[in-house]
Structure formats: structure tokens, C-alpha cells
Amino acid sequence: MTQQPQVKYRKDYTAPEFTITDIDLTFHLDEKATKVLAISQVKRCEASAKDLLLQGEDLTLISVKINGSVWQDYSIEEGNLLLRGVPDLFELEIENTIHPDQNTALEGLYKSGEALCTQCEAEGFHHITWYLDRPDVLARFTTTIYADKHQYPYLLSNGNRIDGGDLDNGQHWIKWQDPFPKPCYLFALVAGEFDVLRDVFTTKSGRQVALEIFVDQGNLDRAEWAMTSLKQSMKWDEQRFNLEYDLDIFMIVAVDFFNMGAMENKGLNIFNSKYVLAKPETATDKDYLNIEAVIGHEYFHNWSGNRVTCRDWFQLSLKEGLTVFRDQEFSSDLGSRAVNRIDNVRVMRGAQFAEDASPMAHPIRPEQVMEMNNFYTLTVYEKGSEVIRMMHTLLGEEKFQAGIALYFQRHDGSASTCEDFVKAMEDASGIDLTQFRQWYRQSGTPILTVEDDYDPNTETYTLTVTQETPATADQAEKKPLHIPLSIELYDNEGQVIPLQYKGEAIDPVLNVTESTQIFVFDKVWFQPTPALLCEFSAPVKLHYQWSDSQLTFLMQHARNAFSRWDAAQSLLAIYLKLNISRFAQQQALSVPRHVVDAFSAVLTDEMIDPALKAQIFTLPSENEIAEWFEVINPTAIAAVRASLQQLLATALADELKAAYQQNQCEHYQVTEEDIGKRALKNVALSYLVFSDPQLGEQLTVTQYHNANNMTDALAAISSAVAAQLPAAEQLLTEWDERWHQDGLVMDKWFILQATRPDPQVLDLVRQLLNHRSFTMKNPNRVRSLIGAFCSANPAAFHAEDGSGYQFLVEMLTDLNHRNPQIAARMIEPLIRLKRYDEHRQKLMRNALEQLLKLEHLSRDLYEKITKALAA
């Protein structure tokens, strides 16, 4: 690191002194040395500005011209190009070379397998040429690509194809033109040899749009689901949001080497192949649903991100929070709304809450940034989506849609801010969102404490609600938020009690706006059972003294599937917490019979959907449980969670066997009904291997060998590994022999290996670094082996001897130079040292100090390490 990275502040934003209205790019592609010619139309915006500073990194300059003449008055400082004394309006011509084969950071133009592709968000375009690499500079792009036709038969870029042809020397060329002004982070280029799946979509106005999905040769049979998902996305966006696609063609390219999930480049979406490729033999139900969601997410960005983009990167949640909300609604409208909501809440409670409590805590609109790549976070995306969802709750669908329409009408073709979005919602609905804006400014997870009182004499029921947001690493002082608290009250027969007071109906969504508030309801004939925070109406932690009888009542009677699941989670939480406390005193696990009976009733209730049963029987993850404690004991959490699974498995063995047998599917179909049945069957199997290991051995081996789909095969081997059955090693070997050449399938195998409940798991992970299917060059492999061990096997990673920490130091030392973005994501479990006991804190601090001493430490890692040590 040549100098200490500088912090940028949102408050210091200034409009660009110059802008670029049009850019004509020409690429002469070569994996070792690509020549780039950029001809830009530049316009001065600020009269006092005399010099033009363009960002650049890892570029070799050939020439600079202004209005056709060589320009000599320039200098290159720390990679950036400073042009002195430029005119008010001029044509700027820059020619340079770049080296895709050396670009292991996967930013800018790089090599993915035998193809070339780009990734420019957030600030990757200046790895291609010198430019005003900021999102509020919008230009019309024309891109001409020259390349060897045999090596790169497909040459793709943004917009519509307008020209092209063959050349005498085995080369060919194609010209693309995007009529919509866009920031350079949305630029894309792909060159390579692919198989192509083609289709068409007719928009609601009757326009024909060509659809093309490009995959590596031999993978065409794994692209059909992605195409189906794309067409569903286009149709849904027209029906639900009245938004129509605007180009003549929409393309998706699946690449193996990609730091993120996918990228919404205008008209040319580049995807991590894991979110495109699927067939029953290689992809699970979860993979299919993830592909559907991510395809939808990137397509929906065409409006919420591309047509209206961010003014600056502090506004990232403007496009990402809104688009995550849209993709969640898409998945919920197409599939099980209850299961989708539960999955989203698990992410919030298990991962986003942990981020809020970490040294990297930040609001959904950060106030300061050192390395922008570090703010592609669950807070910006998932919590940002929850903030949009709260607005939807407060406004209702009709007014929310009016706000969306007004937002796009006002800001189409421009770079806008989070405030612009909230203002449009406010103006369209007439609802005052002044206090609600605090969600954009304040970090941390609010805690809602609810106390209740019932007076049988007056037949009134009172809720006292207190809100508090604990101090975070970035903010000591917190203000009250506007929190929509959705509730239902149930009488003793399971009927919902209408909410009213003094003859006036009360909306079931209570507006909590003060530090302490009292809500009174009358004509409540019986002591009610409350369902609180229904549908997780706000991203908060809820404290309420549930009784076991209240929770078992809600599990049986709540009319909302989410409330039933949440009641089951709360009931489990009571006894998981209790037994984790007992663990330190070496006391045996204890769970009352009525708790077991409540879960038995769920399994045998034919009115409950199999998918919901599966969710109720999926125990909270170790990371979710960790968020219940100020000081985390990963050893106790893992041991108690495993003991609880063993106890339920033994007590409910007969019911679990019945559920396993009753939910078999003869043929594989990606339907909501069949996905639910497979989920319940495989959750039942995950318990049966503990209740009866001999039966478990028989079931897992039979299911693995007879499976006609990856969902059942993976469930079988996962259960065998979790229970450490004798058959596990043989099944793992068979998997390796069959699939070792398929990276995406082997990712599942690496995750299984890295998360084994085995005291020697770290030794195994080290061995697998040399496995024939593993490479440190591929982010998917790195996440599946190293990332899974560090993030999804907390008991092993946080081993008391510090071996997990030292392993991560070794891996980050390599990744710091190879791929800083991936390194910064991998370090997350290590920077949360304050949540652990003093012994572990000391070991984690030592590991961080080792990393801080690395030569040429990346900005990505530097920011996180220094914040963790400062905290």
C-alpha cells in the first residue's frame, strides 16, 4: 500500500466539473494486450474548472488527443490522468492498452476461462480506460469490437447491434449502440465462444424483443430455466409495476469467474454461472429458486438502477434496496409468499443483524466510504429492502405504486438520490415520511420491548411499546424511528379480535414513533394472545415475555403462516437459550414434553402446508442463535443445537418416518407443491439419521443412489455427513468421482466438507486446497471451501487454539494480492472480535495485526482491519 487510503464523506459530494455526453469505444481484443481507443465528447459544467482529472488504474498510455491534435499538457499521478487547461467543449481521444490475462482482481476487462468479460461496478471502468468514473456522469455509449473470429466468435456489448462484418485476416468486428445515457459502471463487453439459447418476448405494447442466453459450450441444456425466469420477470414487471423493456434485445452471459452474483449492465447482463445453469441432475430446488430471483433482480434493474441510477455511491441502496424488494415480491407472487418471507427474515436475523453489530456497521445510506466495494452489504441490500417494504406497508399497494410511477416519471434518464425516492413516495401518497427518513441515516438494529396488560373489568387490553437502538461503531447517539408494528390479537378459540378503541377501528399496523408509546384496545372480551411483528413488519429485534402456552397456541391457530413459524422459532429460542446457559455448568439438555408435543402437532396437522412444516422443523442456524447473545459461545451453541435436534428426532421418530414416506415425489417438477414436499421429506430425513443411525444409513444410501434430482441427492449426503454415518465417506467419494469436472456441483461438495461437525475439519479443508477441482483463482470455489469453513462452521473456525484464525490469515494473505474484493468479504467473521470472550478476542486481534502488516495491503482489507482494531 503506497499511502493510507482516504475516507470520502457523503456530505462532501459536489457535482462534476465536467461531464461526458457521448463516448465511442473501440477495442482490439487480445487476452495479453488489448488496445482501447476512447473518443469522448466532453463538456465543462463548472466555469472555474480549468483542468480535467480522469480516473485510471493499471493502464498503459499510448496517446492523448484533444480535437484531433496531440495534447502534451498532461501528467499521470497515482494512475490518474490530469489534463491541464482544457477547452469548454471538446473531443477527447485516449488510446491505451490493458492486460486481461493478468487481471486476477476481476475488475475491468479480464479473462474468464477462455472468454473475455467485464465487471465495472462499482469503480471498475477506469481499469479499461481513463474516464470520469462516477455514477452521475451519464453518456451514450457506442462500442466497436475487433477480435479473432475463431477465438471470439461472439462479440457483445450494451444496446442494439447496428453493424459488423468479417475482415480478411481472420478477424471480425461488431458495433453496438446504446441509445440510453448511462454511467460507465453499466458498461459491458463479452467476447468468446458460447452456446446460445434464443427466444423472443412480446411486450405489452406489441414490441418484439430478442432474448439470448450465452453459456459455455455443452451447457445449453442447463439454460432453459433461466430463459423461463427471464420471460416471467419481463411479464411480471409489466403487470405489477407497469414497466416495459426498452431495447430490441436482452442478453445474459454466464461466466465462471465472477466476484458477485450478477451485474445489470444495460441490455447485457453478466452472471455468475451458478445463477444461470440448472437441470434436475445438477441443481437443487434452492438453486432453481435462486436463479429465478437473481434473473428477476438484474432484469428489474433495467428501470430501478439503469433508467434511473445513483447520483453517488452513498446512494447505492436507492437501486439495490428497491430492486431487492422487487425481486422478493416477484418470488413471492410466483411461489410461496410465506416461505420466501421466512427465508428473507432468516438472512436478516442471522447475518444482517450481525453486520449491524460489527465494526462495519453503517446506515443503508452510508455517511462515509473508504473502499466502495466494502459497502455491497446485507445492510444496503437486505435491510434496504426492508426499509422499502416498510414504506409499502405504511402506504399500501395503490399509493406505493403511485409513488413508484412518480419517481420514474421525475427521474428517468438521470442520477438521483434516496431523498428523491422518499419525496416521490411522500408526494404521491400525501403521507408524511419526515421521521421515516431516519432509517436512511441511522445504523444498528432497533430493539422493540413490548409489555401488555389486560383488565377484565373494563375489557381493555394495553400494549406498552419501547424502542431503543443500541450504539454502533459508527454512531453513539440514536433517535426514535418510525416503526410499523403489525399485530393481531387472538381470542381463546383462535379467532382474530377486531382492533378498536372508543368506537373507532384501529389499523393492525401500529405506528411506533416515540421512545415509549401506549396503545389501548377496548371491547376485548377475553385475555388475548398477541401475534407481534407479523410478517416481520420492521427489521427489529422483538422482546416480549412469551409463555409457552401462548407460543404453542399461535403455532396452532395463527392465521398467518409467518406468525406460526415465528412462534415456533420463539419457542425453540426459549429452550436453546436456557440450555446454552446450562452447557457451561455441564448440565444435561432439558426440554419439556409440551414443547415436543407442539412440534408433533405440526407434523400431524394435515391442514399445514408441507413447505411450512419444513420451515418450522428447520432449526435456527448457529449464526442466528449467536445473535441472541452479547457474548457468543460458538462451542456451546453448536453442541446445544445438535442435542436439540437429537432430542426432537428421538421423541418424534414415528411422526418423522411418516412424513418422510408421505412426501415422496415420483417425478421431478419445479412446482411450489413438489418443492414443499421435497423440503419436508428431506428435513424429516435430517432428523431420522439421528433417531436411528441404522435406519438413517439405509435411507441416505438408498435415496442418494435412487435420486433423480440434485435436491434429493444432496439432502441424502448432507444428512449422512451431519450424523457422521459410516456411509458418508463412501458417498462423498462417489460424488467426487462423478462430478469432479463440474465446478458448480463440486461447490456443494466443498461446502459439505467445510461444514462437517468433525474436530479435524480444518485439516481436511487444508488438504482440499490441493483438490483437483479447487482453485484459488475462482471466487465460487474460494467461497465454497474457505468461506463456508469460516462463516458457516463457527464452532470450528472459532476453535480455542486459534487455528481457524491463522488459517484465514494465510488465505487472506494470498487473496489480498489475487482478489481484494473476495478477501474483504472473507474477513467478516474475524473482524467481529468484540462479540467473543477475552481469549478469543486476543487471538483474533493478533490475527488482524498480522494482516495489517502485509505489504501492499489492499484498501478493501485495510478499511475493515483498521475499523475492527479501533473498535
Helix residue ranges, H only, 242-367:
285-300, 316-334, 337-347, 353-356
Rounded (5°) CA angle 319-324-325:
105
> Identity (one letter) of the amino acid at 858?
S
**DSSP category for residue 350:** I
3-state SS class at 589: coil
Residues in the chain: 871
**DSSP category for residue 313:** G
Partners of 489 in the β-ladder = 530
Block residue for cell numbers 462515509: 368
Classify burial at 3, counting beta carbons within 10 Å of its beta carbon; exposed 0-12, middle 13-18, buried 19 or more: exposed
Neighbours of 49 (CB within 10 A): 14
Task: Kindly report the backbone phi and psi dihedral angles of residue 70, in degrees, each rounded to the nearest multiple of 5, phi listed first.
Answer: -60, 135
Tell me if 793 sits within 8 A of 761, measured CB to CB: yes
Residues in Cβ contact with 549 at an 8 Å cutoff, skipping those fewer than 6 apart: none
With residue 268 as reference, give the H or E element that holds it.
strand 268-272
Partners of 253 in the β-ladder = 214, 270
Task: Kindly report the backbone phi and psi dihedral angles of residue 322, in degrees, each rounded to the nearest multiple of 5, phi listed first.
Answer: -65, -40
Residue 198 half-sphere exposure toward CB, CA atoms < 13 A: 7
Task: Kindly report the backbone phi and psi dihedral angles of residue 701, in degrees, each rounded to the nearest multiple of 5, phi listed first.
Answer: -65, -45
> Identity (one letter) of the amino acid at 225?
W
Residue 640 half-sphere exposure toward CB, CA atoms < 13 A: 30
Nearest of 125, 20, 5 to residue 83 by alpha carbon: 20
Strands (E), 67-207: 69-70, 74-77, 80-83, 89-98, 108-112, 115-119, 140-148, 154-157, 160-166, 171-177, 189-192, 195-202
Classify burial at 385, counting beta carbons within 10 Å of its beta carbon; exposed 0-12, middle 13-18, buried 19 or more: buried
Rounded CA-CA distance 459/714 in Å is 54
98-122 as b/e: b if 16+ CB within 10 A: bbbeebbbbbbbbbbeebbbbbbbb
Catalytic residue among 298, 355, 426, 863: 298
Tell me if 861 sits within 8 A of 812, measured CB to CB: yes
Helix residue ranges, H only, 464-592:
548-557, 561-584
Tell me if 828 sits within 8 A of 379, measured CB to CB: no
> Identity (one letter) of the amino acid at 750?
F
Q: Directed axis angle between helix 653-662 and helix 672-691, to 10°?
A: 150
Helix residue ranges, H only, 170-303:
224-241, 285-300
Active site residue 298: yes
DSSP for 354-396, please give it: HHHTSTT---SS-SEES-GGGG-SHIIIIIHHHHHHHHHHHH-
Nearest of 106, 108, 146 to residue 130 by alpha carbon: 108
Tell me if 637 sits within 8 A of 626, measured CB to CB: yes
First to last CA, the chain: 22
Point out the residues that are catalytic: 298
